[in-house]
Each structure stands twice: as C-alpha cells, then as structure tokens.
Structure 1
Amino acid sequence: MRMMLMCQMDTEKANAAIRSNRLDEVLGAALERLRPEAAYFGALDGMRTAFIVFTMEQPSELPVVCEPLFNELNAKITVFPVMNPDDVRTGVGRFLAS
C-alpha cells in the first residue's frame, strides 16, 4: 500500500545532527530502508520536515524505519495511506459501481 510518512524533526536534535554531520546519515538510512517513490523536505509548523511516499507491504516495517528517527531526531512521525490520480479514479469507479 502506498503510504506517506511525515517526519517532523525536533529542532535541537536536528541541529545537533547537522553539527555532527549525522543528519544525512540518519535520513539516508531511512530512505534506503523505504526506497521511496518520492521524498521532499521543507518546513512545517516551524520544524524541519520530511515528506516521504513509499510502499508498505507489512505494518511490521514501521518500527524499522521509525525507531531510528525517534531516537536520533526525537521526531514526530505521522503515517497515512495516500493515492495517486489513478488510484483515485479506480476507487471512485468502484464506489460508483457498488
């Protein structure tokens, strides 16, 4: 299932990770595990935020990805299913057919 992971990084922890050259390592490891369809970075609510779209086969994959972000960046993580335009068309078509 296609999922969106939003990772809001604690400012102090992210600053420390930047100073120690660990931010790229922490985020790189998460991206390597997720093999995302897309990844974007910006600011949301005054916090450094990653927006990562990935495919999740099993819910048990989440701790492997999230725990390092919690531990290293004191991250606030939100994960939810998302659709691309084709998924929306298919879903609406199924709704109308029911």
Structure 2
Amino acid sequence: MKMLVNVIMPIEPFNSLVRNGKAGEILGRIIEDIKPESIYFTEIEGNRGAVIIVDIKDASTIPAVAEPWFLNFEASCEFKIAMTPDDLMKSDLAKLAAKWYDVHVM
C-alpha cells in the first residue's frame, strides 16, 4: 500500500549535523535504505521537512521507515494512506452511498 509520509525535523539536531558535515551522509543512507518512490524536501510547520511516498507491504515495515528519522534527527513522522484514482474507483463509491446515505439526513 502506498503511504505518504510527512517527516518534520526540528532545527536541532539537524543544524549540528549540518555543521559537522554529517546531515547529507545520514540523509543519503536513509534514502538508500527506505527506497522511496519519491521524496521532496520542504518546510513543514517552520521546520525542515520531507514528503515521502513509500510502498508499505505490511504494517510491520513502518518502523523501518520511521526509525531512521526518529533516531538521527529527532523527527516526527506522519503516515497517511495514499490512493491513486484507480484505487478510489475500485472502492465503488456509488455502492457505498446506496448503503450508507440516509435520505432523512438532509
């Protein structure tokens, strides 16, 4: 299942890792290990951040994605399911509407 992972890295310890030349090497190792489909670095909540798309085969693989960020950067990680348009179409929204829509709600 595809997951969108928001990684929020506080200013410290990232600044110290940049100053001592370790940040780039650690980022490279993490990216090589988790093999994201894509990764974009950005600002999130005023901190350094990354938005990552990964394919999670099983829930037990989530720690392998999150722990490198936690342990190296004291980051927080938010995991969100990411659906493609095809995934959404497979959900059969019309059938769900027929099952759950109560005409008395309106």
Match of 2:88 in 1: 88
TM-score by length of 1: 0.84
Report sequence identity in percent: 30
Match of 1:69 in 2: 69
Match of 1:43 in 2: 43
Q: How far off its partner does 1:54 sit?
A: 0.8
- SS of equivalent to 2:59: coil
Moved more, 24-33 or 73-82: 24-33
- SS of equivalent to 2:71: helix
One-letter identity of the residue aligned with 1:17: L
Q: How far off its partner does 1:90 sit?
A: 3.0
- Could you list the runs of 5+ residues in structure 2 that have no partner in the other structure? 97-106
- Kindly provide the CA deviation profile for residues 8-28 of structure 1, in whole angstroms up to 9, marking residues without a partner as x: 001011111111222222222
TM-score by length of 2: 0.79
One-letter identity of the residue aligned with 2:42: G
- SS of equivalent to 1:77: strand
Moved more, 28-37 or 10-19: 28-37
- Kindly provide the CA deviation profile for residues 69-90 of structure 1, in whole angstroms up to 9, marking residues without a partner as x: 1111010111111112332233
- Runs of 4+ in structure 1 off by over 4 angstroms are none
Contact 1:26 1:69 in 2 (8 A): no
- SS of equivalent to 2:31: helix
Question: Relative CO higher for 1 or 2, CA cutoff 8 Å, sep ≥ 6?
Answer: 1
Please identify the structure whose Cα radius of gyration is greater: 2
- Could you list the runs of 5+ residues in structure 1 that have no partner in the other structure? none
RMSD across aligned positions (CA): 1.6
Contact 1:8 1:47 in 2 (8 A): yes
- For these two proteins, the number of residue pairs brought into alignment is 96
